[in-house]
Amino acid sequence: GNSVTQMEGPVTLSEEAFLTINCTYTATGYPSLFWYVQYPGEGLQLLLKATKADDKGSNKGFEATYRKETTSFHLEKGSVQVSDSAVYFCALSEAAGNKLTFGGGTRVLVKP
Amino acid sequence: SAVISQKPSRDICQRGTSLTIQCQVDSQVTMMFWYRQQPGQSLTLIATANQGSEATYESGFVIDKFPISRPNLTFSTLTVSNMSPEDSSIYLCSVNSGPSYEQYFGPGTRLTVT
């Protein structure tokens, strides 16, 4: 079956530091890949997505590239802010409109 | 993107009782999904609900415990039956929307069972 593995947190950073959250996946086909973010006390929001190999998703300064050869979709941001403190989830979907399989989530805490 | 609301936003219930959670979408959607997020955990899919057909449950989830209704293309309910403290979780509904069928989530229902 499908699975998503992401680095465990918490990840604690200082403001303006570089953030990387590793995500690798196992799937039988060619899934779509997503990053979702859950800010404290809020619901789950779609942060970015990529639907095929070598696609780069980007939003709010975050980027992730769909690497089929390494089955990875690592999330990066060059300069984090305190407001980026949240839990980040990597997820995959085998087909458009299909159910999501989530990774375990990574809590990120950015200190001023 | 779709706008999704859930009721109630939170509840505290006694063991052995049942709670029905409502999910309303501002546009017609074919598929709706129900997820559970246990404290400090990731999201796990409970079931997929299509309008006009029985919900499809994931392994480990059964209809008697989590009956789902899907009366039309904008609304669904999830009932958590005969609750125990282990059912304390956030329950989220989601739908597919947009040109790439991205999945959008409701704000969740935080359930505490005492």
For the beta carbon of residue B26, count every other beta carbon within 10 angstroms.
Answer: 13
Per-residue pLDDT at B54: 87
The pLDDT value recorded for residue B37 is: 93
Instruction: Round to whole Å and give the CA distance between A7 and A41.
Output: 22
- Work out the pLDDT band at B96, boundaries 50, 70, 90: confident
Q: Contact, A91 vs A66, CB < 8 A?
A: no
pLDDT at A96: 64
Q: What is the pLDDT of residue B45?
A: 95
Nearest CA in chain B to A10: B40
Assign A107 to helix, strand or coil: strand
Three-state secondary structure along chain B? CCCEEEECCEEEECCCCCEEEEEEECCCCCEEEEEEECCCCCEEEEEEEECCCCCEECCCCCCCCCCEEEEECCEEEEEECCCCHHHCEEEEEEEEECCCCEEEECCCEEEEEC
The residue of chain A nearest to residue B107, with distances taken between CA atoms, is A43
The partner residue sitting opposite A49, judged by closest CB among B33, B102, B105, is B102
The alpha carbon of residue A18 is apart from the nearest alpha carbon of chain B, in Å, by 24
- Do the Cβ atoms of B43 and A103 come within 8 Å? no
| Closest-CA distance of chain B to residue A41, Å | 9
pLDDT digits (tens, 9 = 90+) for B25-79: 999 988 899 999 998 889 999 999 988 888 999 999 999 999 999 999 999 999 9
Task: Show pLDDT as tens, one digit a residue, over chain A (112 residues).
Answer: 889 999 988 999 999 999 999 999 999 888 999 999 999 888 899 999 999 999 999 999 999 999 999 999 999 999 999 999 999 999 999 876 688 999 999 999 999 9
Nearest to A46 among B41, B45, B104 (CB): B104
Task: Tell if the CB–CB gap between B107 and A43 is shorter than 8 Å.
Answer: yes
CA distance B37 to chain A (A): 11
Give residue A97's pLDDT. Answer: 67
Helix and strand counts by DSSP (H, E) for chain A: 0, 12
Report the distance separating Cα A87 and Cα A107, nearest Å: 4
Find chain A residues with C-beta within 8 A of B109's C-beta. Answer: none
